[in-house]
Structure 1
Amino acid sequence: MAILDPYGDRFGRLLVAVAVLAVLAGVATAGAYAADPSTATPAPVAYDDAVELGLSSETDELMAGSARIPRAQVFYSQLQYVVGYNGVESFAASLDDGRTERQFGYPLVVYVETFDGGNPGVTDDGLFEAERSTDWVPADEATYVAESAAHSPAGETVVPFAERTNAELFAAEHGGRLLDWEAVRDRSFDVDSAATARSMAPARWAAADRRIADAEASAGDRHRGNRSTSAGGDALIVVGEDAPTIDAAAAAAPPNATVVVPAGTYEETVDVNESVVIAGDGARIRGDGNGSVITVRAPNVTLSGLSIDGVGNRTRDPEAAEEDGTWDTNIQLGYGHGDAGIRAIDAPGLLVDDVAIETNASGVLLREGSDAVLRDLRVDGSDDWRDGFMGVTGMESRVTVVDSRFEGGRDGVYLHRADGSVIRNSTFVGNRYGTHLMYTGDALIADNAFRNAEFGGITVMTRPSGNAIVGNDVRGSGAGIQASGTRSYVGYNTLADNGLGFSTSARGSLYERNVAVDNEVGAHATTVVPSSRVVANDFVGNEVHAEAGPGALRVWAVGDRGNHWEGASVGLHEPGERAYRPTSPVDAALHREIAAAALRESPAVVLLDRLRGTVPGARSGSVVDPSPAPKPHAPERIAAATDPDSEPVHPDWRRELDHTMNAHDRNATDGTRSRLSNVRTRGLVDVGGRR
């Protein structure tokens, strides 16, 4: 039996002819965008009507006010959506990635936003700014200024002008050189990408180590103080000897003193208004069930060796919300004004070490820049998440959580505008969400174990950028990982026995080396217009390996490197030599139904698969892997994921990423090096170091 190559040229040309007729006959029902550039050139649309790619407009709060990201909008030949790119350079980079044309067709018309009459300039932080944009013009009619002082939060940007003289004026004032559209298309840009988040993951781990060491050193220096007299009291105060209560001792303690709390139960609440160490030894602080138990309003405070209960039940303060405030603001005000075992307000440098908290509200509440290190923290929340709140609530406070455990309650860790936070080596059991980030970017969530989360182990909402989610083990949960935003890295995670393994919700992101085993759905493609790379993942034992919502064809491979799909190598062909479509009814059944193999090889199914790849209306909501891997990428992790008695799986991703990025640096031919070399990378790289 002759095996037809589903991407062969000869049969492909015949099918394209058939596909054109099918499109003309079915466009009314398919709902696809169709425009003949020879008879009608589509006009620019309102940008809000475009599907956004590239940078997120909420990547950074720095973009508030007059700061802008020059944009482009593109009409593609096989896509019914107008695609808006935040960053002209992000569209230019997509032209040679080998995937965009396959998924969207070729660009029919490209418009760019120009700033001739908008008083363009540069903010004090180096961001491009303008009072307004002035017009959308065809990309090949504009003049661009590159290498100027103007940047975006992701790095270099180019600024388009309709008139060359205006571009010359901008360059004269802010530097740079003038380019036409062809030069922009051929140029490499120094911007952040998902590869940057990948390369920075080990560095973020190291940064967390430094924060922990600095906090330990600061606390140790104070704890080693002698009983030398200073203005305000002794450097060492023992509760029960030098002061009757912990609160009295904290009030009497001078800066940098240590309050020693002997074993016992202390029924009180404590206010800490100086930079002190409160060190317990089997001590329990029990509140009266109203309000927070410990409130910290000073920098560089250490709390250690304590157990806390008797926390009030207020989870938020609706009266703190503003009548005309945004949703974002009201969440911060409401969530940030509930009760907690430990509440920190404008208290940077907080160290919480070896502390256990029982609460139906928050365990630790941080707000107003209370950057904190939380180590060996145990928070036991409500049995039903509806009755409780967060293990850790962080509002505009960078949080480093290590070696901790969160059981029950609403969310284990909830962070809101807490950029740069690190959550690692911790355990989450029976929460609504294990870790829940809102408007929080440049974070690291690594080497954690999540069990039996009602809705999801790791959930990242709104539109942050640059998060790295690496080496986590999520099992028995509604979903493993659901991360939105842009330029995120999701790699080396083990996702087993969940309703959903992971979703590809983050745009311009990289999903690699994940193991999805025995989930109801291994992965779900959610973005309407795909812009992420999904490569070198293993899908085994899932009821459905992958699903896709409406949108363009998703190509899940990088060059000749694809994912491993159980069942993909079944059939009359060499393993790895036939494309696999996990969203196709026949392919999806290959690992469950032996009879599907014969159907998969039938001429009718092959023809239908080829039709899906060429006709926009027929390929909506589909995924294809043109290079499926015949063997698993991580067989040992698959074996551990199927063993109910195994310990959480945390691969040595730091060593592997260091090796990968070093190989990329050695093989770079365009002078681009990784962010580990303190220079931003361009584009995404394959796990093997290939572009």
Structure 2
Amino acid sequence: MAIIDPYGERFGRVLLAVAVLGVLAGVATAGAYAADPSTATPDPVAYDDAVELGLSSETDELMAGSARIPRVQVFYSQLQYVVGYNGVESFVATLDDGRTERQFGYPLVVYVETFDGGAPGVTDDGLFEAERATEWIPADEAAYVVGSAAHSPAGETVVPFAERSTAAAFAADHGGRVLEWGAVRDRSFAVDSAATVRSMAPARWAEADERIADAMAPGDDGGAGGTGGEDDRGIVVGEDAPTIDAAVAAAPPNATVVVPPGTYEETVTVNESVTIAGDEARVRGDGNGSVITVRAPDVTLSGLSIDGVGNRTRDPEAAREAAEEDGTWDTNIQLGYGHGDAGIRAIDAPGLVVDDVAIETNASGVLLRDGSDAVIRNLRVDGSDDWRDGFMGVTGMESRVTVTDSRFEGGRDGVYLHRADGSVIRNSTFVGNRYGTHLMYTGDALIADNAFRNAEFGGITVMTRPSGNAIVGNDVRDSGAGIQASGTRSYVGYNTLANNGLGFSTSSRGSLYERNVAVGNEVGAHATTVVPSSRVVANDFVGNDRHAEAGPGALRVWADGDRGNYWEGATVGLHEPGERAYRPTAPVDAVLHRETAAAAVRESPAAALLDRLYGTVPGARSGSIVDPAPAPKPYAPGRVAAASDPDSPPIHPDWRRELGGGSRTEESGADTTTPTTTIMNTHERNATDGTVSQAAIAGAGSRADAEGRR
């Protein structure tokens, strides 16, 4: 057996260089991270200069106008950033979680904004409102009203005041009682968290089942199968009217327009609640504008093929008007993206059903705007070969969309949603898009059991700080990135991410990433938030070029109590599995899954010294990740094996059963779009909403020293 010399030429020079660089980094940046509370107390900063955590005030349009979330800003002893918390209760929840102090140090000073002179009150919807905040004061000098009628979109709101008399007056008007800071910090608050989103994911699936069932139920309300007229045959194109458009114009409300097989060269406008039911019927536009425009509620379109769509992807004039109006990016997107050409365009048309429809387009397939809530099933959109030449398969602007059992190939984005809260995208296939599913300003959505292949930039991308999204059971391969979700309180679980540039990023704050399998990616996961506030636990990292990377910021602790993630290579060495912390961003640990000989270097005295350096010199650990309890074996070995096979069908584990929402065999909605491999791991245990406890840290013994306990 060959003996590896950890101090030999190959490893010795690398380790020495790393150690020297680590010492220099620590000396250079220690002053930026640490502060001495005995010498000076920092003054509060402008809140825009803080790094926000907790509920984002932009996550819900309910917070427009005078509605407010009382804010906190905290200076931590080991953190160079001022941390801002939206909600006093969101900061209180961190005080005893065992992770925050370990990563950030202890709070040097805490400031809260008060509302004594801001005309505080409660909106008709129960949201806390005030004309303005009065001043920032130390938290222990404020008086707080708890248990009042005021709340935020995340739950109970604690309202701070500089004067106890003002707080008492607010409580007299709106309920609650007045407490000092010590009593507030000892309370528990019922606020939404990523665990809440996790528990709601199966219910969102079931709600989508109900929407689809209601939309497809036969009847005279415009649903599929609804008829009208004097007999069950409805109005037949070619017999009762010469064209589809003429038949629709002549049809009474809730009638069915039957379109026999053939090609119909025309455009159609629907102004009544009718069903257009095709039978191998193709509707072909003239290459200008949209082919079918719907301007009425409760319209059903089924059994149609559509082509001849115009190639305008947005309306320059509408975008110009938006720029003149307020110039905001959000308005430009809504007016620009929402005014292009489409195979089906719906304007103020709630209750739209699109079923068994195929669209060929270089613009949008289905464009929904102005509250055109829709159910879309068995839709196929074939877009442009180059995404730069096309647009969206489904564009939803301020319209809740339920998409199921559909396929989107080519074009810009498969599904693009903008301010479309509560949407569901499931059981669908996305191939060769720029982004497969792309959400903007959209929260409380479910993206589940989809397959994404060859996305130029990313399979699933969520932008602009939404809240409460669940991304579950998806299979993303051969794409620029698997999942990139921003915002707050996201649940990202049970996804399979293979052979991508990046598996997933932890961009969403206060979120939970669990039970994901990252196999064969260039980077398995990337920690992107400057101030870590999410939990990353029970994920499997196998065969990645680099298991994980981290941008600038504090130490990230990726574990939940005594349970961490599985890292291929972490259990190699002299220690028992799980008895030594694993650092996927450290120079030696990062190569263990590629070169097992590195285990000898990891056990060397020099590496142990470097570990201690990372723990004791805050600057040296910038941009690092540590897992204090790496798992000895994969949590989902079946999924890992399947993801390693390039010929395996899409993998969709039965996460609904795991999360308590019933299985596919018990409910409708089985994946019929793509082959499905249901992988169940009998020893899997679900992540809780717990955190790294002080007891767990203490129990780690010498391991904790290496990880930098202060």
User: How high is the TM-score relative to the length of structure 1?
Assistant: 0.91
Q: Once structures 1 and 2 are overlaid, which stretch shifts more, 145-154 or 211-220?
A: 211-220
1:584 equivalent to 2:586? Answer: yes
Q: How far did 1:279 drift?
A: 0.1
Q: How far did 1:689 drift?
A: 7.2
CA contact (8 A) 1:352 1:374 kept: yes
1:47 equivalent to 2:50? Answer: no
Amino acid across the alignment from 2:83 = V
Q: How far did 1:594 drift?
A: 2.1
Q: How far did 1:686 drift?
A: 6.3
Within 5 A, what are the aligned runs for 1:160-559?
A: 160-217=160-217, 223-225=225-227, 227-228=229-230, 236-321=234-319, 322=322, 323=324, 324-559=326-561
For each residue in 1:623-658, what CA deviation from the matched residue of structure 2 results, as whole angstroms up to 9, or x when unmatched?
Answer: 000000010000000011011111100000000011
CA contact (8 A) 1:311 1:339 kept: yes
Q: Take 2:206 and 2:606, find their aligned partners in 1: how far apart are those partners?
A: 55
Q: Take 1:397 and 1:243, find their aligned partners in 2: how far apart are those partners?
A: 33
Query: What corresponds to 1:75 in structure 2?
Result: 75
1:60 equivalent to 2:50? Answer: no
Q: Take 1:453 and 1:614, find their aligned partners in 2: how far apart are those partners?
A: 42
Q: How far did 1:351 drift?
A: 0.3
Q: Once structures 1 and 2 are overlaid, which stretch shifts more, 619-628 or 36-45?
A: 36-45
Amino acid across the alignment from 2:510 = G
Q: How far did 1:35 drift?
A: 2.3
Q: How far did 1:614 drift?
A: 2.6
For each residue in 1:113-159, what CA deviation from the matched residue of structure 2 results, as whole angstroms up to 9, or x when unmatched?
Answer: 10111110001111000001011111111110001000011110100
Look up the SS of the partner of 2:417 in the other structure. strand
Q: Take 2:557 and 2:500, find their aligned partners in 1: how far apart are those partners?
A: 24
CA contact (8 A) 1:351 1:373 kept: yes
Q: How far did 1:609 drift?
A: 1.2
Query: What corresponds to 1:664 in structure 2?
Result: none
CA contact (8 A) 2:409 2:433 kept: yes
Look up the SS of the partner of 1:608 in the other structure. helix
Q: How far did 1:178 drift?
A: 1.1
Q: How far did 1:235 drift?
A: 8.1
User: Using a 3 Å threshold, how does the CA distance of structure 1 residues 226 and 410 change in structure 2: closer, same or farther?
Assistant: closer
CA contact (8 A) 2:26 2:617 kept: no
For each residue in 1:155-206, what CA deviation from the matched residue of structure 2 results, as whole angstroms up to 9, or x when unmatched?
Answer: 1010001110000000000000111111111111111110111011000000
Q: Take 2:93 and 2:599, find their aligned partners in 1: how far apart are those partners?
A: 39
Query: What corresponds to 2:95 in structure 1?
Result: 95
Amino acid across the alignment from 1:587 = D
Amino acid across the alignment from 1:174 = H
* Count of residues paired in the alignment: 643
Q: How far did 1:610 drift?
A: 2.0
For each residue in 1:535-561, what CA deviation from the matched residue of structure 2 results, as whole angstroms up to 9, or x when unmatched?
Answer: 000000000000000000000001001
Q: Take 1:132 and 1:270, find their aligned partners in 2: how far apart are those partners?
A: 51
Counterpart of 2:638 (choices 625, 636, 639) is 636
Q: How far did 1:325 drift?
A: 2.9
Q: Take 2:133 and 2:387, find their aligned partners in 1: how far apart are those partners?
A: 47
User: Using a 3 Å threshold, how does the CA distance of structure 1 residues 641 and 25 change in structure 2: closer, same or farther?
Assistant: closer
Query: What corresponds to 1:129 in structure 2?
Result: 129
Amino acid across the alignment from 1:91 = F
Q: How far did 1:251 drift?
A: 0.5
Q: How far did 1:442 drift?
A: 0.1
RMSD across aligned C-alpha pairs, in angstroms?
1.8
Look up the SS of the partner of 1:490 in the other structure. strand
Amino acid across the alignment from 1:305 = G
Q: Take 2:163 and 2:536, find their aligned partners in 1: how far apart are those partners?
A: 41
Within 5 A, what are the aligned runs for 1:594-633?
A: 594-633=596-635
Look up the SS of the partner of 1:585 in the other structure. coil
CA contact (8 A) 1:219 1:302 kept: no
Look up the SS of the partner of 1:160 in the other structure. strand
Structure 1 residues not aligned, in runs of 5+: 1-18, 661-684
Look up the SS of the partner of 1:607 in the other structure. helix
Look up the SS of the partner of 2:93 in the other structure. helix
Look up the SS of the partner of 2:217 in the other structure. helix
Within 5 A, what are the aligned runs for 1:652-691?
A: 652-658=654-660, 687=687
Q: Take 1:145 and 1:216, find their aligned partners in 2: how far apart are those partners?
A: 49
For each residue in 1:274-329, what CA deviation from the matched residue of structure 2 results, as whole angstroms up to 9, or x when unmatched?
Answer: 00000000000000000000000000000000000000000001210212331101
User: How high is the TM-score relative to the length of structure 2?
Assistant: 0.89
Amino acid across the alignment from 1:72 = V
Look up the SS of the partner of 2:659 in the other structure. helix
Amino acid across the alignment from 1:308 = I
Q: Take 1:192 and 1:688, find their aligned partners in 2: how far apart are those partners?
A: 14
Amino acid across the alignment from 2:107 = P
User: Using a 3 Å threshold, how does the CA distance of structure 1 residues 24 and 40 change in structure 2: closer, same or farther?
Assistant: farther
User: Using a 3 Å threshold, how does the CA distance of structure 1 residues 573 and 86 change in structure 2: closer, same or farther?
Assistant: same
Q: Take 2:611 and 2:33, find their aligned partners in 1: how far apart are those partners?
A: 21
Amino acid across the alignment from 1:85 = Y
Q: How far did 1:219 drift?
A: 5.7
For each residue in 1:318-357, what CA deviation from the matched residue of structure 2 results, as whole angstroms up to 9, or x when unmatched?
Answer: 2102123311011000000000000000000000000000
Q: Take 2:68 and 2:23, find their aligned partners in 1: how far apart are those partners?
A: 39
Look up the SS of the partner of 2:640 in the other structure. helix
Q: Take 2:278 and 2:604, find their aligned partners in 1: how far apart are those partners?
A: 72
Amino acid across the alignment from 1:548 = A
User: Using a 3 Å threshold, how does the CA distance of structure 1 residues 409 and 121 change in structure 2: closer, same or farther?
Assistant: same
Query: What corresponds to 1:665 in structure 2?
Result: none
CA contact (8 A) 1:472 1:649 kept: yes
Q: How far did 1:36 drift?
A: 1.3
Q: Take 2:544 and 2:650, find their aligned partners in 1: how far apart are those partners?
A: 19
CA contact (8 A) 1:553 1:613 kept: no
CA contact (8 A) 1:527 1:551 kept: yes
Q: How far did 1:616 drift?
A: 1.5
CA contact (8 A) 2:28 2:619 kept: no
User: Using a 3 Å threshold, how does the CA distance of structure 1 residues 542 and 146 change in structure 2: closer, same or farther?
Assistant: same
Look up the SS of the partner of 2:552 in the other structure. coil
Q: Take 2:690 and 2:585, find their aligned partners in 1: how far apart are those partners?
A: 27
Within 5 A, what are the aligned runs for 1:149-164?
A: 149-164=149-164
Q: How far did 1:228 drift?
A: 2.0
Q: Take 1:540 and 1:252, find their aligned partners in 2: how far apart are those partners?
A: 62
Look up the SS of the partner of 2:52 in the other structure. strand
Query: What corresponds to 1:141 in structure 2?
Result: 141
Q: Take 1:545 and 1:569, find their aligned partners in 2: how far apart are those partners?
A: 14
Q: Take 1:34 and 1:197, find their aligned partners in 2: how far apart are those partners?
A: 36
Within 5 A, what are the aligned runs for 1:20-35?
A: 28-30=28-30, 32-35=32-35
CA contact (8 A) 2:269 2:292 kept: yes
Q: How far did 1:27 drift?
A: 5.5
Q: Take 2:30 and 2:186, find their aligned partners in 1: how far apart are those partners?
A: 35
CA contact (8 A) 2:228 2:254 kept: no
Amino acid across the alignment from 1:543 = D
Q: How far did 1:29 drift?
A: 4.3
Q: How far did 1:690 drift?
A: 5.6
Q: Take 2:30 and 2:162, find their aligned partners in 1: how far apart are those partners?
A: 37
Identity of matched residues, %: 87
Q: How far did 1:34 drift?
A: 3.2
Q: How far did 1:226 drift?
A: 5.6
User: Using a 3 Å threshold, how does the CA distance of structure 1 residues 171 and 358 change in structure 2: closer, same or farther?
Assistant: same
User: Using a 3 Å threshold, how does the CA distance of structure 1 residues 689 and 164 change in structure 2: closer, same or farther?
Assistant: closer
Q: How far did 1:503 drift?
A: 0.1
Q: Take 1:444 and 1:534, find their aligned partners in 2: how far apart are those partners?
A: 20
